[in-house]
Amino acid sequence: MKSRWSAFLVGLTAQIVFSATFLGLPAASILFQRALQLDMSELAVFLGSASIAVVVTEAPWGMAADRFGERRVLLAGIGITVLALTGLGIASSLSVTPPLWVLALLLFVAAGAGGAVTGPSGSAILGWFDARRHATLVTLRVASVPVGGALGTVAYAILLEALGVVGTFIAAASACALVGALVALLSFDPPRGHDSDGPPSGVLSDPRVWRVAITGFLLDVSQFLVLTFAATVLHQLFSVPVAVGLTWVTVMQLLGGALRVLAGVGTDFLPWLSRARVVRGLGLVQVMCLAPFLCGTALPVHLGIALMVIAGIAGCAWQGAHFSHMAILAGPGGAGAALGLNNTATSLGAFTAQVMAGTCVVAFDWPVTVLLLGALPAFLASLLFPGDSVERAPR
């Protein structure tokens, strides 16, 4: 029986499955490298095609969801993804490994179509539920992304060992097809208001939407500098064993993910806890924890570890309130376009941190790099993030 809760849970399930499908790929990269007989540069092209596809397709998918409804967009995206993943399975089964461009193109199409799910229209949540649940439900949708990524990492390791690369791609396609069936049976769109008939891109003329997106880019630069390089920084500055550093990174992600949900839900139920306070406050926590690294090896070891862990937790906790703010700011008629823009901005932020860190370390050193790519972006985001507003973005 269709209900708003069944539709929400189906959307949540779709998010988890597609996050598992595409975010689990990098963690299993060495297994795919062996199975597809790729060298390191070819592996980078293969996996990079998925990352690029998500960046370039999420905003268009969000605008399409505003215009045509989330259900139609989900079904279209899922259908294309199933076909592309099946094509990857067939291509991988051939006696001669297909050219790299064929594999990369199929993965690009699959991940790009998956953007219909990973950049979903928040207009559905805003249309189904009253205002006191908006931040909670958007936060849960956002929090399902890393959950899916973690499940995908485990699933790929098991499937590749048991079924090989061909069976793994077919299994991924089957899981997506099952989600598509659930969407067809249980999902439906909320009633569309008159404002939904206008161009969905109209919300992008609101400067507040762009300010939120820019802060998403900046905060993701800081977040992924810490998540990607914390173990390296702690090892090179304080001789912390790499295994210990990676353990602390896991702690950051687990505690940060829990705080992400609590902070997002809290903005619905605690009158004094606004979304702007959460995002700005967590940004400033990162600044205060990362700026002391400019002292380099003069910083006490245990203090350095503690500061890095706290910065990592804060860096993983802002997304729920941040994405909720974007959806509520844009309103039901424009939330898809706004969230798509926000997803694109955060993806670019993660990419920027990972690419620029190496250049900065060569030009300077880790203390200066942590300041430039960690503390400074978080500080700018805290200044730029707009205040809460009950008004919808102008069309």
Write the DSSP assignment of 102-117 as a string of letters.
HHHHHHHHHHHHHHHH
Residues 369 and 270 in one domain: yes
114 lies in the same domain as 37: yes
Question: Regarding predicted confidence, which is higher, 39 or 291?
Answer: 291
pLDDT at residue number 143: 80
| CA separation for the pair 208, 341 (Å, rounded) | 12
Domain presence at residue 309:
yes
Last residue of one domain, picked from the residues 192, 214, 239: 192
Give the pLDDT confidence score for residue 394 in this predicted structure. Answer: 41
Distance between first and last Cα of the chain: 35
Please, which pLDDT band fits residue 286 given cuts at 50, 70 and 90?
Answer: very high
Please state the domain count of the chain. Answer: 2
Which residues fall within 8 angstroms of residue 58, CB to CB, at 6 or more apart?
115, 118, 119, 340, 343, 344, 347
Cα(88)–Cα(166) distance, rounded to whole angstroms? 8
- 265: CATH: 1.20.1250.20
Co-location of 212 and 183 in the same domain: no
Residue 310 has pLDDT above 90, yes or no: yes
Q: Are residues 256 and 124 in the same domain?
A: no
pLDDT value, residue 121? 56
Instruction: Check whether 237 has a pLDDT greater than 80.
Output: yes
Residue 357 has pLDDT above 90, yes or no: no
Domain that holds residue 28: 4-192
pLDDT at 376: 96
State which H helix or E strand residue 363 sits in. helix 335-363
Q: Is residue 82 part of a domain?
A: yes
Position 393 scores a pLDDT of 39
Calculate what percentage of the chain has a pLDDT beyond 70.
Answer: 92
Any domain includes 389: no
The pLDDT-based confidence of 395 (bands split at 50, 70, 90) is: very low
Q: Single out the residue in 139, 169, 192 at which a domain terminates.
A: 192
How confident is the model over 64-80, as pLDDT tens digits?
Answer: 887 888 888 899 999 99
Residues 137 and 226 in one domain: no
Question: Do residues 169 and 250 both lie within one domain?
Answer: no
Please indicate, yes or no, whether residues 105 and 228 belong to a single structural domain of this protein.
no
Query: Model pTM greater than 0.85?
Result: no
Map tokens 């300010």 to a residue. Answer: 211
pLDDT at 331: 78
- Give the C-alpha separation, 127 to 199, whole Å: 18
Q: Per residue in 123-169, pLDDT tens?
A: 677 777 777 777 788 888 888 887 887 788 788 888 888 888 889 99
Cβ atoms 92, 166 nearer than 8 A: yes
Q: Which residue has the higher pLDDT, 381 or 144?
A: 381
Q: How far is CA 144 from CA 246, 287, 381, in A?
A: 22, 27, 24
Tell me, yes or no, whether 128 and 209 share the same domain. Answer: no
Over residues 183-199, the pLDDT tens digits come to 899 877 777 654 554 45
- Max CA-CA distance within the chain? 63
- Mean pLDDT value of segment 1-19: 83
**Do 178 and 327 fall within a single domain?**
no
At which of 129, 159, 192 does a domain end?
192
What is the mean predicted confidence (pLDDT) over 359-387? Answer: 92
Q: Tell me: do 276 and 253 sit in the same domain.
A: yes
Residues 357, 198 contacting (CB under 8 angstroms): no
Residue 303 placed within a domain = yes
Q: How many CB atoms lie within 10 A of CB 184?
A: 13
| Residue 73 forms part of a structural domain | yes
CB neighbourhood size of 393 (10 A): 23
Same domain, 150 and 220: no
State the Cα–Cα distance between residues 150 and 147, nearest whole angstrom.
5
Asked if the model's pLDDT at residue 81 lies above 90, the reply is yes
Residues 335 and 234 in one domain: yes
Residue that has been written with the tokens 């993030």 in this structure: 385
Distance CA 189, CA 181 (A): 16
135 neighbors 268 (Cβ within 8 angstroms): yes
Q: Where are the beta strands (DSSP E) in the chain?
A: none
Reported as a pLDDT band with limits 50, 70 and 90, residue 93 is confident
pLDDT band at residue 43 using 50, 70 and 90 as cut-offs: confident
Nearest residue to 223 (alpha-carbon basis) of 262, 249, 259, 258: 249
Is residue 170 in a domain? yes
